[in-house]
Structure 1
Amino acid sequence: MSSPDLRQGNSLASRDVKNLIHSYTNLSVHEKTGPLIIEKGKGIYVYDDNGKEYIEGLAGLWCTSFGFGEQELIDAATKQMQKLPYYHSFASKSTEPGILLAEKLIEIAPADFSKVFFVNSGSEANDTVVKLIWYYNNALGRRQKKKIISRQKAYHGVTVAAASLTGLPPLHNDFDLPIENILHTSCPHYYRFGKDGESEEEFATRMAVELEELILKEGPDTVAAFIAEPVMGAGGVIVPPKGYFEKIQAVLKKYDVLMVADEVICGFGRTGNMWGTETYGIKPDILSCAKALSSAYLPIAAVMVSEEIFRGMVKQSETHGAFAHGYTYSGHPVPAAVALRTLELMEERNMIAHVQKVAPVFEKRFKALADHELVGEVRVSGLVGAIELVADKETKRSFAPSCAVGPTGYGYIQEEGVISRAVAGDNLALCPPLIITEEQINEMFDRFERGLERLAQDVNGNNWRDAK
């Protein structure tokens, strides 16, 4: 039977295929299968246009911390929309929501930051980080100190500079990336890259040594910054090995290299603290955040910098007449009002304590999957985790990419009523709204496990373990 041509007809699916380009989608397959159309959401659940219920097990895209339909956030947006639906931050203009949100972020920041710059997405935040690092070093007369080191399997966004920082080949292939002055050091995934007989801490030491060797090879006077997610999200939910950031930061301090924390996924409670930097002992000079800043109800992101970096920005703005960077919607008052109310709700409802209370149930259910015949490793931090699917548990051999085991498993899990995500190959991730209860966690994993069992039947029935 041939697949229907979804480009014909007047259904929502047909109109989608006819008119929309979808992110991170096999566009050829999409033309044949069409979209899953989500019509409404409530709490941790979303519903498609046929009324089927799904647990949103990835909080949208790691972001909808308060779930769907939170009236306090809807009211914050409505009230601000009625008062001042838009204004900008160019030429010394400001709005009350932007001022109050900046104050709040500085108050709860995990380091001694001085200023906040607002953007609209994590990608824009990390693009801005790159520009600020270059601008700052030019202010200091260090015009060669421009290289920024990221990590293999890192994810920092999709704009030109942010995608260059990202250490995943699909974001570089045929986009002519990465750009100049972006480097990548080793991925700190102990399960995949640890050597035989090497302890986790020894592996962390080797990662720091390899970073130092890269800095020395390039020349310390040319290396400006190192950027890292506390937990690597789209690269597979990779949790840092014991002692990793302590050892890494010692190298950075030795060679006067800035530490940039990408808190786009980890920020605002995800790892059991307000910031992932607190969970893993990171002391950043610059921090980018987004996603859960507004519980994703409206687009907003931020970059926080130290006073030292800001003074460099002031010097350059004097030299050139203006700080010539910004976006039409930077500090938009409506997203800023929603973000401020989001942070207030986190305090009023003691969300960090809630995450700490339910995270052990989440971790227990995740770790119970370690015995499954397809699972090589379980990785979990707070309310974010992933399983890595392998063809051979003993040797850690991966499945052939042609089998598409991860995406197939994702599809089965979705059919069972959980939206998860297949990341970095055959890793299945969960990152539910922070409001999830213990009962709902168990419900989510019951559905997830049913999908995993269906995947195992496919693997065994099709001999995918032997595929080349």
Structure 2
Amino acid sequence: MLGVRRRLGRQLSSTRQGTDLLTELAQDTTGLLPNQDSQLSAVSDDARHVLHPWADLSSLGTHESLIISEAKGVHVVDGNGKTYIDSIGGMWCVTLGFGREELVEAIADQARRMAYYTPFGDVSSEPAAKLAAMLSERSPGDLNRVQFATGGSTAAESAVRIAHYYQKSQGRPDKIHILSRRNAYHGGTYLAASLSGKLADRTLFHYETDIVHHMKSPGFDPDISDVSAEAFLADLIDDMERTIAEVGADRIACFIAEPIMASGGVLVPPPGYQKATLDLCRKHDILYISDEVVTGFGRLGHFFASETRFDIVPDMIVTAKGLTSGYQPLGAVLISDRIAAAMSEAAPKDKPVFSNGFTYSGHPVACAAAIANIEIMEREDICGHVRKVGPYFIDKLKALRSSPIVYAVRGDHLMACVECTVGMETGPTARNMALAQRVDRYCEEAGLLVRPYENLCILSPPLIVTERHIDSIVAILGASIERAGKDLRAGEI
């Protein structure tokens, strides 16, 4: 481990924050030592047997994955003992950081007491009931009914199925179409993947295209846009009105939208967009589903951002990821009392069963983790901390715009994106993507994990990140951008 720290020190010697980073590593990773035999076995077994999500099939069986063996705080350690700052929070989800003993104990205690029992029909568990009440207390408006799922994908799919059931129960069987957006991401199940609008993710799978309609991407960056926010918003709303007219309002069940598009590139809509789209949905009797899998549970400084940040009370909210801080897989759909009551009242007398759900819906152990997660968040005022350090994070990152290979820096609190460009090209061109991959590689060498996507470097650190951690993240990313820029000027990219 000492050798790892010395190597990292040499790599960061050109940055003012290097010493701070090494101090943090010494404090956070003491005792996390590698087991070389285990590491070699894991790399081999992984290459031979694991098909990863979003894997590069061209290297299947030969690619050596980065094996993360241990973690603590905002740091992770690979099987060789090298320590990294995790600036992606696992995958948007490890909000309270790694190694939280209180979460671990809550999971273990519930597993000892009762690991699992069926949630079907009229059977429940104490953790599921308690968590549902806690979510209701913290949600906006009358979103007081909860259906649990296994993660964000199944929660998003459940929300759409609820919309379909509701519309049909109200005598509108033709209202089955769904509005989404380009660059949206709602999950990996068949329907959730069909709702997603990221073209880079569309490969040889089959997708539902008959009832899913993707409107314009709402991402607006005032620093690079050649139109005003007002003009851009007007164009987005015109596009939505045209789509509704083309499909027919009497055929559209719901609109699903991330308040800020996360995996699509941290795309922030212009001010007023969320409220304007909700108003259109109300006008045309279209249910509004707010996908807060990423923006919820503190990432924007609130348990839910829909009402507090964007002035909307949707018909449903989808949540997952930060719900358990990534310690257990769990998702949930928060449903308006109005919608739930209407479905109940109109349920067929001969078949009143709501036949949607999963074996692990409301899993007691996962719910226990979520309960402990909420209690810690409130006791430590995690949302208040995010509201404090979030603007600092964005401001520090925006200083990177001075680099000629940085096209844009955008984000909101603790979700951000740095977009790379070779100069004359914008977007995910081959050279721009190669440049971003070079930045990512240099970051990893220097002990920082960012999320590479197309020509983007996406960041979503644990919510416990401090200003010192942020200084180190930006310093390493800045140095990596500088190195990649030199490679570009040397003709290596």
TM-score between both structures, scaled by the size of structure 1:
0.93
Which of 177, 182, 195 is the equivalent residue of 1:165? 195
Deviating above 4 A after TM superposition, structure 1's stretches of 4 or more consecutive aligned residues are: 191-196
Structure 1 residue 173, shift from structure 2 partner: 2.5
Structure 1 residue 30, shift from structure 2 partner: 5.1
Which of 288, 295, 315 is the equivalent residue of 2:325? 295
Which of 79, 93, 114 is the equivalent residue of 2:109? 79
CA distance 1:319–1:375, change in 2 (3 Å): farther
Per-residue CA distance 1:187-242 (angstroms, 9 max, x = gap): 0123499974x211210111011101110111110112111111101100011112
How far apart, CA to CA, are the structure 2 residues paired with 1:342 and 1:452?
36
Matched, 1:304 2:334: yes
Per-residue CA distance 1:417-437 (angstroms, 9 max, x = gap): 1111122x2111110000111
Superposed counterparts of 1:51-130, under 5 Å: 51-130=81-160
- Whether the 8 Å CA contact 1:272–1:279 is kept in 2: the answer is no
Which of 359, 362, 367 is the equivalent residue of 1:331? 362
Q: Look up the match of 1:178.
A: 208
How far apart, CA to CA, are the structure 2 residues paired with 1:112 and 1:131?
20
CA distance 1:371–1:193, change in 2 (3 Å): closer
Q: Look up the match of 1:214.
A: 243
Q: Look up the match of 2:387.
A: 356
Q: Look up the match of 2:35.
A: none
Letter in 1 for 2:351: H
How far apart, CA to CA, are the structure 2 residues paired with 1:432 and 1:47?
16
Letter in 1 for 2:244: I
Letter in 1 for 2:377: M
Describe the SS at the equivalent of 1:118: strand
Structure 1 residue 255, shift from structure 2 partner: 1.1
- Whether the 8 Å CA contact 1:268–1:292 is kept in 2: the answer is yes
CA distance 1:396–1:273, change in 2 (3 Å): farther
Letter in 2 for 1:356: R
Per-residue CA distance 1:43-86 (angstroms, 9 max, x = gap): 00000011100011000000000110001100100110111111
CA distance 1:399–1:322, change in 2 (3 Å): closer
How far apart, CA to CA, are the structure 1 residues paired with 2:420 and 2:250?
42
Matched, 1:259 2:316: no
- Whether the 8 Å CA contact 1:415–1:451 is kept in 2: the answer is no
How far apart, CA to CA, are the structure 2 residues paired with 1:218 and 1:193?
34
Structure 1 residue 160, shift from structure 2 partner: 0.6
- Whether the 8 Å CA contact 2:417–2:458 is kept in 1: the answer is yes
- Whether the 8 Å CA contact 1:317–1:323 is kept in 2: the answer is no
Matched, 1:374 2:405: yes
CA distance 1:160–1:317, change in 2 (3 Å): farther
CA distance 1:193–1:386, change in 2 (3 Å): closer
Structure 1 residue 312, shift from structure 2 partner: 3.5
How far apart, CA to CA, are the structure 1 residues paired with 2:95 and 2:262?
16
- Whether the 8 Å CA contact 1:366–1:380 is kept in 2: the answer is no
Per-residue CA distance 1:98-122 (angstroms, 9 max, x = gap): 0000000000002321300001110
91-100 or 353-362, which deviates more? 353-362
Q: Look up the match of 2:274.
A: 245
Q: Look up the match of 1:388.
A: 419
Q: Look up the match of 1:426.
A: 455
Structure 1 residue 10, shift from structure 2 partner: 6.4
Q: Look up the match of 1:269.
A: 298
Q: Look up the match of 2:259.
A: 230
Structure 1: 5+ residue stretches without partners: 1-8
How far apart, CA to CA, are the structure 1 residues paired with 2:135 and 2:75?
29
Which of 362, 368, 375 is the equivalent residue of 1:344? 375
Q: Look up the match of 1:451.
A: 480
Letter in 2 for 1:305: I
Structure 1 residue 140, shift from structure 2 partner: 0.5
Q: Look up the match of 2:469.
A: 440
Structure 2: 5+ residue stretches without partners: 1-38
Per-residue CA distance 1:278-324 (angstroms, 9 max, x = gap): 22222210110000000010001100111121123323364424111
Letter in 1 for 2:272: G
Structure 1 residue 378, shift from structure 2 partner: 1.0
111-120 or 186-195, which deviates more? 186-195
- Whether the 8 Å CA contact 1:375–1:389 is kept in 2: the answer is yes
Structure 1 residue 463, shift from structure 2 partner: 6.2
How far apart, CA to CA, are the structure 2 residues paired with 1:44 and 1:177?
37
- Whether the 8 Å CA contact 2:157–2:192 is kept in 1: the answer is yes
- Whether the 8 Å CA contact 2:152–2:293 is kept in 1: the answer is yes
Structure 1 residue 451, shift from structure 2 partner: 1.8
How far apart, CA to CA, are the structure 1 residues paired with 2:130 and 2:153?
23
Q: Look up the match of 2:161.
A: 131
TM-score between both structures, scaled by the size of structure 2:
0.88
- Whether the 8 Å CA contact 2:439–2:480 is kept in 1: the answer is yes
Matched, 1:149 2:140: no
Structure 1 residue 25, shift from structure 2 partner: 2.1
